[in-house]
Homo-oligomer: A and B are copies of this chain.
């Protein structure tokens, strides 16, 4: 028999689609931090009953991008400067670990995929599609996690990614500036192809720190605005 590996078929439950819709709305910033999600209104808009919607919201609460208060409502998480710092410092540690574990596993397929994802980022950048740019950049960085061969690590990173994507989206939205045209991932990709693991680990920190500064400035702005109330 021919040995074909089929990919799993798509989830066909309403719940799964609702999760995808809501997640996207949150991670692109269409739903703003702190905003309340009215079950009745959303279920009517989606033409769905409240049961699958509520189940979907439970999932996103556990995923860490929604927060729920009994009998009061479910809200998009608030974003503070500390949250962003915390997420990033953990991300640095995980990056280092992921690179270490991936290093010996690198092969041609890895390099091919690395190039493909890098290309996707560049394309999104050229198209000035900021949302897609964030998505593809995170997917590029996610490659080392997929190759680290540690399912728990991968899960952890995916959770973290949700937040990072949200933070970046908010940041982009707030400054509303044209996207950096140049390619900031060139060195990162080159180092992952190279022979010096330590250098790659070091760069992962420094490179990320770059965007981090801007992000942090945005978060500090949020803090100030909040303290005025």
Q: Is A62 an interface residue (CB 8 A)?
A: yes
Residue contact A83 to B160, C-beta cutoff 8 Å: no
A150 engages B16 (CB within 8 Å): no
CB-nearest residue of chain B to A150: B86
Residues from chain B with Cβ under 8 Å of A152 in the complex: 83, 86-87, 90, 160, 163
Interchain CA distance A73-B12 in the complex, whole Å: 14
A83 interface neighbour in B59, B82, B151, B163, Cβ under 8 Å: B151
* A42-64 with Cβ < 8 A to chain B: 51, 54-55, 58-59, 61-64
> Are the C-beta atoms of B155 and A64 separated by less than 8 Å?
yes
Contact A70–B16 (Cβ < 8 Å): yes
- Report whether A86 and B54 are in contact in the complex, using a CB–CB cutoff of 8 Å: no
- Binding site secondary structure of chain A: helix
Interface check A156, CB cutoff 8 A: yes
A90 touches B97 (CB 8 A): yes
Decide yes or no whether A105 CB sits under 8 A from chain B: no
CA distance A163 to B16 in the complex (A): 25
Interface membership of chain A positions 1-40, coded 1 if the CB is closer than 8 angstroms to chain B and 0 otherwise:
0000000000111001000000000000000000000000
Partner of A90, one of B153, B159, B163: B153
Instruction: Report B-chain residues with C-beta under 8 Å of the C-beta of A187.
Output: none
Contact mask for chain A residues 145-170; partner B; CB cutoff 8 A; 1 contact, 0 none: 00000111101100110010000000
A93 on the interface (CB 8 Å rule)?
yes
A123 at interface (Cβ–Cβ under 8 A)?
no
Are A70 and B150 CB-contacts (below 8 A) given A55-B54, A90-B156? no
Contact for A51 among B16, B51, B153, CB less than 8 A: B51
List 17 A–B pairs whose Cβ atoms lie within 8 Å, in order of A's numbering. A51-B51, A54-B55, A59-B59, A59-B61, A62-B63, A83-B152, A86-B151, A86-B153, A87-B152, A89-B150, A90-B150, A93-B97, A152-B160, A156-B156, A156-B159, A156-B160, A159-B159
